[in-house]
Amino acid sequence: MKENRNLKVHTLLDIENLKVHGRTTGCLSPLTVFWTGSGIELNAKGSELWIEVEVDYDMYEPWISVVINSSPVSRQMLTAGRYWICVFRGMNENEVKNVCIVRDVQAMNGDPASFMQIHAVKFDGEFLPIEEKKYKIEFIGDSITSGEGVIGAKQEDDWISMWFSAIDNYSTIVAKALNADYRVISESGWGVLTSWDNNPHFNIPQYYEKVCGILTGEKNETLGAFKANDFDSWQPDVVVVNLGTNDRGAFNSPEWIDEVTGETYKQRLNEDGTFNEEDLKTFEKAVYDFLVKLRKFNKSANIVWVNGMLGGEMLPAIYRAVDIYVKNTGEKKVSVFQLPNTNEETVGSRKHPGKLSHEKAAIELIGYLKEIL
């Protein structure tokens, strides 16, 4: 290999024109990349670029995609260790390349050891300023928004990082179409009240104000995951909430037992298969309360609660909760939007929305957001 002697190492702190995507602690030495869809963006005028990552995990390794000039060019697993990855080489040194390094897997609540960091870049050119996008959008969701099932054959059933994608994901497609920066807050299996298996601790709202509160373990604490998020630094124009699908599942799952307290939790069905009225109310209250919290931290954002990509059975309850919220607050910028359901043609692996389902959902959501923006 001919060595490129012009490469210089830059810590992220050194790079004036660095754009960081996704919620972080503000620390750049190194940058911890918590959420799916997060990472860094550079306008790189030079011929060869590397990034230095540091990664560890017990079970669920992170993956990244590299996007050059808005076109995905690679996607790879990051195994444990600290090492350099080549992003591109041999390119025209006079051309500016817009480069995004995107975390392609959700933050992993189930693996306290899992983290991904970017320490530095190695480059033989200069980094130019990055144009501001027109909008900012925050997507909050579950496995759907985490892109679980976008990758892999339909038959795949393992719960592993490999099947996740931030790229062929409705969030990314919508953001690109609207010329928006975006952030994703999402966790597979979680809901607005409980997880799919009735665990009342696995809901997004109670961790929303932290940088990445859904994580666990000392390592993540050290990394700052549980610090308060700095909402002032990034106020979205739109918050898309795609929660409720796992809350729906909870009605069909066995009770969850708190092994510490012995308490049990269960969203109940009536004997005729309909939702228990009381439990449904609890769900609606959770939706309501999350709207209150979202508004607290996102003062002027349009909040759009979406649902439907894996069935829309919670939509009536979501509509009720939003209705009461709107009535009580007099706010206008909160609404509900149904996304198209996934079918045999559009399904991906793990019975989750595939690439075609994400594209279809994105088209409808783009249309809706264009109207309200």
Residue pair 101/39 in contact (Cβ under 8 Å)? The answer is yes
What part of residues 159-178 is at the interface with its own copies (CB under 8 A)?
Answer: 160-162
138 binds its own copies (CB under 8 A): no
Number of residues that bind its own copies (CB under 8 A): 63
Between helix 355-372 and helix 170-177 the angle, nearest 10°, is 40
131 binds its own copies (CB under 8 A): no
289 binds its own copies (CB under 8 A): no
Pattern 10-49, its own copies, x by CB under 8 A: ----------------------------------------
CB of 232 to its own copies, least distance (A): 27
340 binds its own copies (CB under 8 A): yes
* Radius of gyration of the chain from its Cα atoms, rounded to whole angstroms: 21
Q: Which amino acid appears at position 180 of this protein?
A: A
148 binds its own copies (CB under 8 A): no
Sole binder of its own copies in the list 218, 232, 259, 371 (CB under 8 A)? 371
Rounded to whole angstroms, what are the CA distances from 172 to 70, 177, 234, 343, 350? 11, 9, 18, 21, 21
320 binds its own copies (CB under 8 A): yes
Separation CA 365–CA 336 (nearest Å): 11
Helices (H), 93-138: none
CB of 73 to its own copies, least distance (A): 5
Residue pair 114/58 in contact (Cβ under 8 Å)? The answer is yes
274 binds its own copies (CB under 8 A): yes
Helices (H), 1-107: none
Q: In this structure, what DSSP letter does residue 192 have?
A: S
Helix H or strand E encompassing 140: strand 135-141
Q: Which two structure tokens, joined as six digits, stand for 229? A: 């998020």
* Angle (CA) 258 207 31, round 5°: 125
76 binds its own copies (CB under 8 A): yes
Q: Which amino acid appears at position 228 of this protein?
A: A
Separation CA 196–CA 250 (nearest Å): 4
Q: Which two structure tokens, joined as six digits, stand for 16? A: 């004036």
Stretch that binds its own copies, among 11-19, 175-183, 212-220, 334-342 (CB under 8 A): 334-342
With respect to its own copies, which residue has the nearer C-beta, 208 or 290? 290
Sole binder of its own copies in the list 16, 157, 221, 255 (CB under 8 A)? 157
CB of 76 to its own copies, least distance (A): 4
272 binds its own copies (CB under 8 A): yes
Stretch that binds its own copies, among 189-197, 231-239, 279-287, 318-326 (CB under 8 A): 318-326
Who's near 178: CB < 8 A, 6+ residues apart?
134, 135, 137, 366, 369, 370, 373
Rounded to whole angstroms, what are the CA distances from 60 to 36, 114, 193? 13, 6, 25
264 binds its own copies (CB under 8 A): no
Separation CA 134–CA 179 (nearest Å): 6
With respect to its own copies, which residue has the nearer C-beta, 150 or 286? 150
Residue pair 286/204 in contact (Cβ under 8 Å)? The answer is no
Pattern 53-72, its own copies, x by CB under 8 A: ---xxxxxx-x----xxxx-
* Angle (CA) 266 252 60, round 5°: 90
Stretch that binds its own copies, among 13-21, 180-188, 244-252, 305-313 (CB under 8 A): 305-313
* Angle (CA) 260 262 267, round 5°: 115
Pattern 78-117, its own copies, x by CB under 8 A: -xx-----x-xxxxx--x-----------------x----
With respect to its own copies, which residue has the nearer C-beta, 153 or 260? 153
367 binds its own copies (CB under 8 A): yes
372 binds its own copies (CB under 8 A): no
Where on the chain is the footprint of its own copies (CB under 8 A)?
1-2, 56-61, 63, 68-71, 73-77, 79-80, 86, 88-92, 95, 113, 151-153, 155-158, 160-162, 272, 274, 308, 311-312, 315-316, 319-320, 322-323, 326, 332, 335-338, 340-341, 343, 349, 364, 367-368, 371
